[in-house]
Amino acid sequence: MIATGVALAAQVSMTFAQDAATKEAPAAEEAKKADVEVTIEGNDTMQFDKKEFTVKEGQTVALTFKNVGKLPKAAMGHNVVIVKPGTVIPSFAMDCMPNAQTTGLPQKQEYKDAVVASTKILGPGESETVTFTAPAPGKYDYICTFTGHFGVMKGVMTVEAK
């Protein structure tokens, strides 16, 4: 009787575990739930195909970034990092350089705090979707933080009031 009870308990907890796994929706599902979808491409000539986009405060934004280039990631990796208004871009980008092959994110706390949304550094043919809530109205710069790219790979996200 006791043994049966243990077996039953084990079965129940396994079922719960499966339920939890099913609830973790993949990136594509997340994107569908977003209020707005934005896709940006980066290429081998260090260009974003989209230099500006506009969203509304409070919207859920699914941002997909694709590296459509062919050059190896070590030479021509790209990401998208959106930063708060007032961020000094050259200083911010310099602080990201040590992570140019991985996250592309800054080291210093003040710059970490300035990040609104970011993808990791992507190699050729890779893409990533990140979902975030559009912050307060304003103009938000976005750049690629791969070493030396921020000067040309840049754009502006405009957030309008609701």
Residues that bind Cu ion (CB under 5 A): 78, 144, 146, 149, 153
Nearest to 129 by CA among 77, 69, 73, 62: 62
Residue 45 C-beta: closest distance to Cu ion, Å: 10
Closer to Cu ion by Cβ: residue 82 or 153? 153
Closer to Cu ion by Cβ: residue 134 or 153? 153
Residue 148 C-beta: closest distance to Cu ion, Å: 8
Interatomic CA distance for residues 80 and 123, integer angstroms: 13
Closer to Cu ion by Cβ: residue 98 or 137? 98
Closer to Cu ion by Cβ: residue 64 or 159? 64
Interatomic CA distance for residues 110 and 91, integer angstroms: 11
Residue 80, C-beta contacts closer than 8 angstroms, at least 6 positions apart: 40, 42, 48, 63, 65, 117, 118, 119, 142, 143, 144
Residue 110 C-beta: closest distance to Cu ion, Å: 23
Interatomic CA distance for residues 93 and 65, integer angstroms: 18
Instruction: Find the residue with minimal CB distance to Cu ion.
Output: 144
Residue 78 C-beta: closest distance to Cu ion, Å: 3
